[in-house]
Structure 1
Amino acid sequence: MFSGVTGIMNRGQKIKGRVVLMRKNLLDFNTISSIPSGGVEGVIGSGLNVIGSTLDGLTAFLGRSVSLQLISATQLDENGNGKVGKDTFLEGIIASLPTLGAGESAFSIHFEWDNSMGIPGAFYIKNYMQVEFYLKSLTLEDVPNHGTIHFVCNSWVYNSKLYNKRERIFFANKTYVPSETPAPLVKYREEELKILRGDGTGERKEWERIYDYDVYNDLGNPDSSEKLVRPILGGSSIHPYPRRGRTGRYPTRKDPKCEKPGEVYVPRDENFGHLKSSDFLIYGLKSLSQYVLPAFQSVFDLNFTPNEFDSFQDVRDLYEGGIKLPLDVISTISPLPVIKELFRTDGEQVLKFPPPHIIQVSKSAWITDEEFAREMLAGVNPCLIRRLQEFPPRSNLDPETYGDQTSKITAEALELDGCTVEEALSKQRLFILDYHDVFMPYLRRINQTSAKSYATRTILFLRDNGTLKPVAIELSLPHPDGDESGAVSKVILPAKEGVESTIWLLAKAYVVVNDSCYHQLMSHWLNTHAVVEPFVIATNRQLSVLHPIHKLLHPHYRDTMNINALARQSLINADGIIEQTFLPSKYAVEMSSAVYKNWVFPDQALPNDLIKRGVAVADSSSPHGLRLLIEDYPYAADGLEIWAAIKSWVHDYVSLYYAADNDVKSDYELQNWWKEVVEVGHGDLKDKPWWPKMQTLEELIETCTIIIWTASALHAAVNFGQYPYGGFILNRPTTTRRLLPEQGTEEYDEMVKSHQKAYLRTITPKYQTLVDLSVIEILSRHASDEVYLGERDNPHWTSDSRALQAFQKFGNKLKQIEANFAQKNNDASFGNRIGPVELPYTLLHPSGEEGLAFRGIPNSISI
């Protein structure tokens, strides 16, 4: 049956193997069709997509088109490298294997091998087809003197000619620090890293696997319009930034330092998998940008739909009744899978969003002061509140440039349940949410656009029952006489009735808009997505796949470069979704650069962050060595449990390969990795004294823990609550369009008559709301094939049984932690965990499920 395949019938001294491939969408191993009349050679020559007519025909084709060569890990050739075996071709499909996933096909293969070849430790693979395939794994069975050997590959393999005579190599799932690498594999290890680093020149191509660095010089589009010019982020002290993956695209005509926007290269194996539901989420974002949002815009441009909500019920109708759209708009967007999956259409002209969690139990509890304060501890941006340690609050802005920016809030104005300000400070019961210094330098420019807002400070008091009470909001504007003259500020106090209650409601809206923008641009984009990408690049450039730290960190990089590339195309680019809908508009990402100036790597460790913000103090008698000053602080309390579990796992794992500090110092791959992270990946901050020196075992453990925490738990905490909290735009508006109305104006009279209209005319209008909701619903979803913290996508990720046991211990610990979280959420004494909206805090529950689950910690920043 397979007469054209050499050597299949003669299976003397051979090692039996099983190769698992996954289909590309255009190369479906399970599709029944016909091979073109020109035969295999015709297919290869024409570059057409290859689809087999029967399993036999497909087998014959693949048998002549994919070859493997085993490489010895124990026997040297005449050049001192591992012996390379004979070319061996794939054979027949293994029809039924229970372990195969959707779209996977397994092929048998038999390698000629004898004792003189020793034990295989790597293999070459050649693809003679014009189309690529995804290589999942190779398993060798009954290897003499060894048993089973697993090769976990997970890589796209293109036609061998595209690799410039450098054959694709894969290593067995062994783990070696560089000094312990078997001599036959040393050259192969070094050569593979050299390939991954590239030479820093040329435009990257789809099939390449080169990891390199560049600055953010592709967000603007100067060739299209002066309005789309944006500063280059990275490479200067003015606009420092983490590095992103280099694409080498052509420069723009008007600014040779900027790259032309367009499709963005990422190393091929960083691209989303062809069968992942993450593909759908990414397709959704692209569809929104290219089709859905322009269709929405046309509706409002042509006045089919007014761009204002007239009541809070109008907003709730987005979920209860839907929004009516013209038939031509529905016909344009309804065929798109993103519409069918993410929105519901009840009738031909109605588009409906799923109800966000914040209003699923109570439609009005979001408006309370209690919920406003609780979300600073358990909402989607729970990592900014800090303890107030001086009164009045002071600014860190340069007084020579910005004058006196000290707060105008007075002690007499604060209602502190009978305490004086001095008593509240000494008892550590005053807290602040402070966005003054972040927004003030940009506010004059922001307010010259269609947006109008303030820089805000919010003072909160910790009550006896453990909840926070907002006691004052300060709204500040740049001085009309110039920045050097300081700020003009209004202090707004809580009110329950009359026009004062509406003013208080609007003041809270200005705070939440500051918070929404800081969350999206800094807490979410900058502090997770952007700062992690240099670690992804450096790890692939400097740490071999055989390296223990590569094996530890690699799962926490899954899809991050790809989602970041998409963000540069559609989300944070000039006139992209963020600029269209968030307060800072064209200054959005530039503001995140200003915040990055003060980014400190060691402070990304949760315990350090909590102590720095003053919400915790060192206490050796307390769990995790510190005591929370707000005992019922869900993000901090749950986060410390997850942090401790991650650090314990990292300690157990790293200690398997590094017994002492000298082992860390002498690992040249590790040292090259860290040097490159600091001096290149985060090169704008390379001279900061706080960088770990990577000279001790403890520094390595802490560093890896921070990376894993940032990519998994921190990202989960600030990402997957976006739609549950922000899907109701009244709760988390993204922009404000006018300042507080002054007495004697029509706006003030409107505010007196209707708090709802005053609020709705101030916050995000209807079109921008549709944009916001469409985007954050996708960003808040879990993929069906998500890999969560404590899981790996392949049980054979390492052959080290000690590491597998430590990882199992980690997984068991996370299950125990999750059970404890659930128990606390059922304890009424923890008022901040549920709040007036009756929404339990579950964002740091490790396990998750597909969709808007509002729970689950993925291993990586994958959306």
Structure 2
Amino acid sequence: MPEYKGVLTTEDRLLAKTWDRIYIKLVGTDGESQRKALSRGSYPESVFKVKVDHNNSIGKLVLIELEKKTGLLPPQDSWFPAKVELKSPEGETFHFPIHRWITDDEVHQFREATACLVFDDSHPLASQSRTEELKQRKKQYRWSIYAEGIPHCMKIDFFHGLPDEVQFSYTKQAEFGFTAIQGLIELKLDGLAARKEKWTSIDAIGKVFRHKQTALSEYVQQNWKKDSLFGYQFLNGVNPMVIRRCSVLPENFQVTDQMVFLRGGRSLTKEMQSGNIFLCDYKLLDGLKANKVNGKQQYLMAPLVLLHKTPEDQLMPIAIQLKQEPSEDNPIFFPTDSEYDWLLAKMFVRSADFQDHQLNSHLLRTHLLAEVFSVSLLGNLPMVHPLYKLLVPHTRYTLQINALARNLLISESGIFNTITSSGGEALQKILQRATSSMTYTSLCIRDDIKERGLESVPDFYYREDGFQMWDIINRFVQGVLGYYYKEDSDVQRDTELQTWVLGIFVHGFLSRPESGMPQKLNTVAELVKFVTMVIFTGSSQHAAVNNGQFEYGSWMPNTPTTLQRPPPTSKGTADESSLLETLPDVNATVNGMAVMYLLSKQSSDFVPLGHYPEEYFSERVPHQHMQLFKGELGLLSSKIEARNLGLIIPYTFLDPALLENSVAI
């Protein structure tokens, strides 16, 4: 009888092995094998042979069936097989990627690894398997509305309801507890978590700012009052998404030449014409009712900030208005005002930036969008689809981290509602406003930088590194997808691909045509750009707005999570006492530090961008492009590291060596 020789590999991870009985069945174009029991106990590699009851082979293998049966004594044993490789009697090798937990005793089918578009999947067995897989996936990956007016999420009760294939590894689960308590313990601040009193001095804040410090966090503590650091953060801090070039002042920001001092002696009008004036407008926060923290009313401003690029190429603030509507009790503050007037104005801006950053730039534009990309992918594309194989590593842990965030971070009883001024009813309104104004252009870094007029701003490392990251990802995507989509017509007739794209438009952008988000793709070029955006958003963009949170935010006066006194209505009244009374209480401060620490903490099973430990592709060409991709990322990492040696503040947030493949934290 013809005989197929096989190797079954179990994933090299904690608790991946099983002692249950494993059965395998082979299905080919010309028949199928008998169900065969493999040796009890699945070691990293199990070699086996499968005979078929035919005089000839069963042809080209289409799929395998795996089944795990519990022994006489429960409980059932979880198992994480990685792949199966089989050699036919004719000497041809077939690969079957699995890379998921199997926890039940059901029969699971896995397709041969050769990627195949839906219109090329002509064999009846293959077509039937594809249809059945998608039917099951659509049951598992369903949509839910967490709150009206924001991107939809996956429908689950809690993260334990997630399919096994997308849950944390045991290693990640053991390390990660998404609670402020864990962060407080690791930062050795748990004794301060219940203290609701105000800070008595800046020095008192400094006494708790001792643990887990980095060179950058220490620099921020020492320089947080300086205008140069204040301006620098709009470009290279954790929220480089608000600043834009200003060619005409907004009507509600009535700054004149006589009000501002510009280095170089030129007028405000001429400096705007020369492209040297920039605006940060936090109108997203306007008119919202601020939260209560410790039972006390907090304050949430919607400031406007005017910045000037000096002849020395520094970005310096020259005017701040803390509320949108000009009035006598809404003064415009300038660097020439008293020390505490100006410092207090900057603190209100930094607090507003925290709210915009966390809810808009971070939560909405990376976490929630990455979930939309993932649910639409996992629910609409089978494992054999090349786009599934390309993108599934970029969905790793995203669904569970978001489920945890919804339950423990932004829920009614979540930490965000206990320590921030934008908690409570303001949170949902900010997300709704941000969603209604989100565009496809703003997710594509080259288009976004051009639209904001920031192409020529010097020392803009987010832009410099981001452009290079985008281009490297783009070349990689072009190389892989160009192998499968030879012509534009291939894109147009790929119904599974079009369903994925439409799902993102409907559930992520709420069917808003004005967003510019494609409802369908017509060309290979459009597909490559779209997929580049998806990978960039979940890896590079998330890292840019996530990885520096603790370094810039752990020194609370630089990034107050809330402010508990209203902004000054006149000048000359601020002093150190009023500044301290405005800052958040002790417990809000240390809980904020703990959350930012946890959100920035890298797990031990971190997978860097460009590393693909789970093999989904079997063809030579995708593997070649993966190696090229990894190599280009390595070169960029070396280039960034060399540049940073000459910088006072190294910019590391887009160093490929520090980027994760997915939104996993």
Structure-2-length-normalised TM-score: 0.91
Question: 2:39 aligns to what?
Answer: 91
For structure 2, the 5+ residue unaligned runs are none
* Residue 463, structure 1, aligned to residue 325, structure 2: no
Alignment of 1:33-182 (within 5 A): 58=19, 62=20, 65-72=21-28, 74-75=29-30, 83-91=31-39, 105-113=44-52, 115-129=56-70, 130-160=75-105, 167-181=107-121
Q: What does the per-residue CA deviation read over 1:361-399, in whole Å, with 9 as the maximum and x for residues that have no partner? A: 5742222110111011111111221111212x24xxxxx
* Residue 385, structure 1, aligned to residue 258, structure 2: no
Matched position secondary structure for 2:62? strand
Counterpart of 2:151 (choices 230, 234, 242) is: 242
Percent same amino acid at aligned positions?
Answer: 24
Question: 1:312 aligns to what?
Answer: 202
Question: 1:279 aligns to what?
Answer: 173
Matched letter for residue 777 of structure 1: Y
Deviation at 1:441, TM superposition (A): 2.4
Deviation at 1:475, TM superposition (A): 1.3
Deviation at 1:515, TM superposition (A): 0.3
Deviation at 1:800, TM superposition (A): 1.1
Counterpart of 1:15 (choices 5, 15, 22) is: 5
Matched position secondary structure for 2:323? strand
Q: Is the 8 A contact 1:20 1:136 kept in 2?
A: yes
Deviation at 1:501, TM superposition (A): 0.6
For structure 1, the 5+ residue unaligned runs are 1-10, 30-57, 76-82, 96-104, 199-209, 217-232, 235-239, 250-261, 321-352, 395-405, 480-485, 616-627, 828-833, 848-855
Alpha-carbon distance change, 137 to 297 in structure 1, aligned in 2, over 3 angstroms: closer
- More divergent stretch after superposition (798-807 vs 106-115): 106-115
Q: What does the per-residue CA deviation read over 1:454-497, in whole Å, with 9 as the maximum and x for residues that have no partner? A: 22111000112222011011111779xxxxxx89521001148x
Alpha-carbon distance change, 667 to 557 in structure 1, aligned in 2, over 3 angstroms: same
Question: 2:232 aligns to what?
Answer: 374
Deviation at 1:442, TM superposition (A): 0.8
Q: What does the per-residue CA deviation read over 1:563-586, in whole Å, with 9 as the maximum and x for residues that have no partner? A: 000001100111311111111120
Alpha-carbon distance change, 156 to 461 in structure 1, aligned in 2, over 3 angstroms: same
Distance 2:402 2:457 in 1: 35
Matched letter for residue 369 of structure 1: D
Matched position secondary structure for 1:413? coil
Distance 2:418 2:379 in 1: 36
Question: 2:364 aligns to what?
Answer: 526
Distance 2:100 2:508 in 1: 24
Alpha-carbon distance change, 592 to 22 in structure 1, aligned in 2, over 3 angstroms: same
Distance 2:217 2:366 in 1: 28
Distance 1:14 1:809 in 2: 34
Alignment of 1:583-598 (within 5 A): 583-586=421-424, 587-598=426-437
Structure with bigger RCO (C-alpha 8 Å, 6+ apart): 2
Question: 1:473 aligns to what?
Answer: 320
Question: 2:643 aligns to what?
Answer: 824
Structure-1-length-normalised TM-score: 0.71
Distance 2:220 2:153 in 1: 43
Matched letter for residue 309 of structure 1: W
Counterpart of 1:416 (choices 247, 256, 262) is: 262
Distance 2:47 2:457 in 1: 60
Deviation at 1:315, TM superposition (A): 1.8
Question: 1:635 aligns to what?
Answer: 462
Distance 1:780 1:299 in 2: 21
Deviation at 1:785, TM superposition (A): 1.7
Deviation at 1:245, TM superposition (A): 0.3
Deviation at 1:760, TM superposition (A): 2.7
Deviation at 1:683, TM superposition (A): 3.0
Distance 2:639 2:571 in 1: 56
Distance 1:633 1:743 in 2: 35
Q: Is the 8 A contact 1:713 1:857 kept in 2?
A: yes
Question: 2:549 aligns to what?
Answer: 722
Alpha-carbon distance change, 550 to 742 in structure 1, aligned in 2, over 3 angstroms: closer
Deviation at 1:190, TM superposition (A): 1.4
* Residue 761, structure 1, aligned to residue 581, structure 2: yes
Alpha-carbon distance change, 594 to 487 in structure 1, aligned in 2, over 3 angstroms: farther
Q: Is the 8 A contact 1:642 1:713 kept in 2?
A: yes
Alpha-carbon distance change, 128 to 364 in structure 1, aligned in 2, over 3 angstroms: same
Q: CA RMSD in A?
A: 2.9
Q: Is the 8 A contact 1:443 1:454 kept in 2?
A: no
Matched letter for residue 266 of structure 1: L
Question: 1:493 aligns to what?
Answer: 334
Distance 1:440 1:361 in 2: 32
- More divergent stretch after superposition (439-448 vs 133-142): 439-448
Matched letter for residue 368 of structure 1: K
Distance 2:128 2:630 in 1: 36
Deviation at 1:356, TM superposition (A): 4.2
Alpha-carbon distance change, 84 to 411 in structure 1, aligned in 2, over 3 angstroms: farther
Alpha-carbon distance change, 94 to 243 in structure 1, aligned in 2, over 3 angstroms: closer
Q: Is the 8 A contact 2:95 2:113 kept in 1?
A: yes
